[in-house]
Amino acid sequence: MVYLSGRAERIRGGDPVTEKRLTWGEITEKYPDHMESKTVREERRWKIFDFRDWIKAYLFIPFDEGDYQDMAKVIGERFAGWRKQCPDFDKDAPEPSDAAFAIMKYLDCACTFFPPMADDAPVMRAYRYERHKGAGDGFVPVLVRPDETLLEILVMNADPESGADCFGFDLKNVAEYRKKMLAAPVRDGKAVLEELSGQYKTEDGDDETDRWDEGAGEMEGGYENCCFSGLRDFGSRMTGSLILARIPVKNPWEIFAFLPFGNWNECPDTPELMAAAKYWFEHYGAVPAVMTNDELEFELLSPVPEEKAMEAAAEQYGFCPYLDQNGDGTIGSLADVLRQSTVWYFWWD
């Protein structure tokens, strides 16, 4: 469903639209992403056209009958694949849960609800489109996997006066919390990460100090991570229910004023999340992209440079000590992941 200014429109699944690359006859679903990213780059370069007017220029490409036949074929293939993953197509699609409705109400911004599906392509297509659109329209899209636990965390931070009933939050209190977080100066991200690292060094004890030495462990044993893990429950072939929220902020780190999911156990609080996210955006272009009740994922345009990977890995261990349960638990192995990956994954217990 799409929620905008109190109106709701049902979306029944994927977006079986077919597009072209610059070479005629080769059909690919990547074309809009390619063209929109290109137009965004060109608009920033020349500063002479209205972003909203010309980003859809590819719609005016003159197709001939052969092109339409090719499109019809791919549309049919995509529709058949969607039918296969959604056997209950003729029935009503799953409605958002009470927690999902409550989180969309809490966010108080335009949201799209996606029911569980085997193929996450429709979700990712929508997210990619909103990433491009948000650059010009002043919002940051975030994929949220809603449940009652996440709602409890959000309300605990933004409206603690609501008590134990997380569904009974007051939007006025939530709005005041956002205003307060956005008005406060963002702390120095490097200092915050060093502070967190020092805290967990002390808690780990002497037997763990080698892990915090930036030279500990070789930069090896890692892997490439370019896909979001938080869209699915572990081991499930289906995505969870998902909300694509268009958070109305200019800067990526400000999304935590709307989604303050930290401040429990070792998970950083909202000012710390904002500080770390600002630092990582400015240094690596990392953007918060996916959130569950205990997971946070960032997306980057390109991996961390190899010469900075060890430093970034040390910072991430301070930010999220549970990363020591990945690979061999050394900074070197995490650094090997970071130098290959465009997705950063964090989780807290």
Q: How many CB atoms lie within 10 A of CB 168?
A: 12
User: Do 63 and 178 fall within a single domain?
Assistant: no
Is the distance from CB of 145 to CB of 241 less than 8 angstroms?
yes
Q: In terms of domains, do 336 and 225 share one?
A: yes
Q: Is this model's pTM higher than 0.85 or not?
A: no
How far the first Cα of the chain sits from its last, in Å, is 31
62 and 154 in a single domain? The answer is no
Same domain for 210 and 341, yes or no, is: yes
Tell me, what's the pLDDT at 90? 40
- What is the Cα 180 distance to its own chain's centre? 24
Output the tens digit of pLDDT for each of the chain's 349 residues.
444 433 333 333 444 333 333 333 333 344 445 555 554 444 444 444 444 454 555 566 666 778 778 888 888 777 776 666 554 444 555 789 999 999 999 999 999 999 998 889 899 999 999 999 999 999 999 999 999 999 999 999 999 998 889 999 999 999 999 999 999 999 999 999 999 988 755 555 544 444 545 446 789 889 999 999 999 887 778 899 999 999 999 999 999 999 999 999 999 999 999 999 999 999 999 999 999 999 999 999 999 999 999 999 999 999 998 886 555 678 999 999 999 999 999 999 8
Asked if 53 and 155 sit in the same domain, the reply is: no
**Has residue 212 been placed in a domain?**
yes
Domain boundary residue among 30, 60, 93? 93
**CA-to-CA distance for 48 and 86, rounded, in angstroms?**
45
Number of domains observed in the structure of the chain: 2
Q: How far apart are CA 305 and CA 321, in angstroms?
A: 22
Mark whether 79 and 159 lie in a shared domain: no
Beta-strand pair 2-4/295-299: unpaired
Task: With respect to residue 290, please indicate whether it lies within any of the assigned structural domains.
Answer: yes
Whether residue 264 sits in one domain with residue 182: yes
Same domain for 184 and 62: no
Token pair for 212:
């915090």
Question: What residue type is 241 in one-letter code?
Answer: S
Residues 88 and 170 in one domain: no
In a domain, 98, yes or no: no
The predicted pLDDT at position 76 comes to: 79
Q: Which domain holds residue 300?
A: 148-347
Q: Are 264 and 272 in contact (CB under 8 A)?
A: no
Amino acid 283: pLDDT: 97
Both 233 and 325 in one domain: the answer is: yes
Name the residue among 91, 94, 93, 111 with its Cα closest to residue 102: 111
> Does one domain contain both 84 and 164?
no
